Amino acid sequence: MTFSVERFLFMRHIILFCFLLQFGCDYSPNEKSNDWNGTKEEFLDSFKLVDGQESNNSLLLVEQNSGEPFTGEVSRSEADRITRQTFSGGLLNGKSIKTSPDGSWVEANYLNGQLHGEMTFYNSEGKVRSVMIYKEGKRVITNAD
């Protein structure tokens, strides 16, 4: 049986590909999700808000057990309301959505614990009622106001 250089190189590439496929995939089924879902009461048992003096006086969301600032999405449900908020390092960061019993809702954007971007109010049919703009926690007054 004779092997050519081309066949040898081809086989070497196949072996390298199989090796990379086996050890290069980062699949981790036991990886903990930082997203949290529960009721308001469960939220109060799982988290606490502490004064974040070094973070523009924003409150920090920390885990009750570890005292570590929370990073991930929190979804709280009450009988007639749902709140979804995104946190990074304990600070609101990203989209926050709060629904009301009448079906209306508000979407707000946060950056480092402060309102930043659009805050949009919707009626129960999903039509925009009003929009306010914030920059680093302060409302931006526009000509439409």
Per-residue pLDDT of 99-143, as tens digits, reads 999 999 999 999 999 999 999 999 999 999 999 999 999 999 877
Q: Tell me the C-alpha distance between 145 and 108, whole Å.
A: 18
| Sequential DSSP letters for 16-69 | HHHHHHHHH----TTPPP--EEEEHHHHHHHEEEEEETTTTTEEEEEETTT-PB
pTM of model > 0.75: no
**What whole-number distance in Å separates Cα of residue 61 and Cα of residue 6?**
60
| pLDDT band (50, 70, 90) for residue 32 | very low
Render pLDDT for 39-58 as a digit per residue (tens, 0 to 9). 999 999 999 999 876 656 67
Instruction: Quote the CA–CA distance of 105 and 99 in Å, as a whole number.
Output: 4
- Domain spans, the chain: 34-140
